[in-house]
A and B are shown apart, each in its own frame.
Chain A
Amino acid sequence: MDHTKTFFLDGQEIPFKEGQTVFDAAMTAGVYIPHLCHNPDYEPHSSCRLCTVIVNGRPFAACTQPAVAGQMIQNDTPELREMRRTLTQMLFVEGNHYCPACEKSGHCKLQATAYDLGLQDNHFPQFFPKREVDATHPDFVLDRDRCILCGHCVRVSRDVDRKCVFAMTHRGIKTEIVVDSPTGLLKDSQLTVEDEAANVCPVGALMLKRKGFQVPIGERPYDQAPIRVDSVKNFKVREERRHG
């Protein structure tokens, strides 16, 4: 294993192993790169573009960009911060995100990322789209109002659980999550609480029933530590678990 190769992230020399992405190398070195559609436990997807960094003058998604020796990469710049703020604001206005009434508050990556970016308003007009809530399943609620279309449930149900319970349908602003079942309802799908997809939603779109307020507001993960601290810590724990 070659440990000597490095690239420069905001001037800091970051070592990487052959085959590592810019994202993985940065997080291993303790540098947070904001992200929503990427969960380090699974293959990167590079669709939310929040992790966009400037590599040798050109924008790339850090979660899929392979690290190359000598790259000059910018991550925490006013321009990238502004772009990430705008992307996050657009996610907020495209859905119906009622933080005061959401059980995921304090444990929600969208909310925690917005805090990290210092969002105090949504800038754009609210879409207030009409989206369906599916509470038919005995163990789950699928609240599409809160969905940010990160695709975690789709990918994990397909690649890990081998069930393909979820898929995305339509295009552009009409894109939404659909359920593979004869009725289109969650109750008639193969989703069970044992599925890995059951716990993968980074927002409050797919939630287990009867778990509400088990952890009180104020004691939730992002109440304890901001997402940039929590993400790096979890990434390191995961790396140690993987590589011993």
Chain B
Amino acid sequence: MASKLKVATCSLAGCFGCHMSLLDIDERLLDLLEVIEFDRSPINDLKRIEGMVDLGLIEGGLCNSENVHVLRHFREHCRILVSVGECAVTGGIPSMRNHYSLRECLDEAYIRGVGVENAQIPSDAELPLLLDKLRPLHEVVRIDHHLPGCPPSADAFWHFLTELIAGRDPSLPLQLLRYD
């Protein structure tokens, strides 16, 4: 049998719900692991992709500079890159902050927030800078496939991955296509 496909995953401005949904394929994970192996992923806690991988799955949109670095790192190291979930595909719930200025968001969270003591906006040099607006992935790098859903259901993941691995068009059929 040919060597296993390498798959890298990450969550940017997301909630890890998409990763949870991927794990929701349950025992089918064992079948999947017959043909793939995970490279950098929160599942194995590897932090960087070494060399090239076949498939990158990215959950979440872009809310800060680190997200953009990670996305570009994935694009450089993934033969096929997939936007996974509403946040990656459209910006999703985190993009609701785009209605407000960054300053208003920070004030709301760190200055005027309920129960805040010693109010100050975090400014540690270690913290990645927030982007002015949250952006979906395809606005920054080329994305090969989109897997919508909040999150995409386990069956949507299974359909998408098995079709893609089989070399077929992984578009979701009507019954698996959901944006919520």
B180 touches A100 (CB 8 A): yes
Tell me if B95 and A99 are in contact (CB < 8 A).
Answer: no
- The distance in angstroms between the C-alpha atoms of A99 and B143, with both chains bound, is 21
B11 contacts A by Cβ under 8 Å: no
Contacts of A226 on B, CB cut-off 8 Å? 174
Chain A interface helix/strand/loop/mixed = loop
- Residues A217 and B180 in contact in the complex (CB < 8 Å), given A99-B150, A121-B83: yes
Contact between B180 and A106 (Cβ–Cβ < 8 Å)? yes
Q: A99-B180, A100-B150, A121-B83 are in contact. List 19 more A-B contacts (CB 8 A).
A: A92-B90, A96-B98, A97-B90, A98-B95, A99-B150, A100-B92, A102-B180, A118-B174, A120-B171, A121-B146, A121-B148, A122-B136, A126-B90, A126-B91, A126-B95, A128-B98, A128-B133, A217-B180, A226-B174
Q: Is the CB of B99 within 8 A of A130?
A: yes
The 3 tightest CB contacts between A and B, nearest first, are A99-B179, A100-B150, A121-B146
Residues of A within 8 A of B172 (CB): 118, 120
The answer to whether B96 and A98 have CB atoms under 8 Å apart is: yes
* Residue count of chain B within 8 Å CB distance of chain A: 29
Q: Is B177 an interface residue (CB 8 A)?
A: yes
B126 beta carbon closer than 8 Å to chain A? no
User: Which residue in B83, B92, B143 is a CB contact (below 8 Å) of A98?
Assistant: B92
Q: Is B179 in contact with A116, judged by CB distance below 8 angstroms?
A: no
In contact, A121 and B177 (Cβ under 8 angstroms): no
Is A125 located at the chain interface by the 8 A CB criterion? yes
For the complex, what is the distance from the CA of A69 to the CA of B95, rounded to whole Å?
51
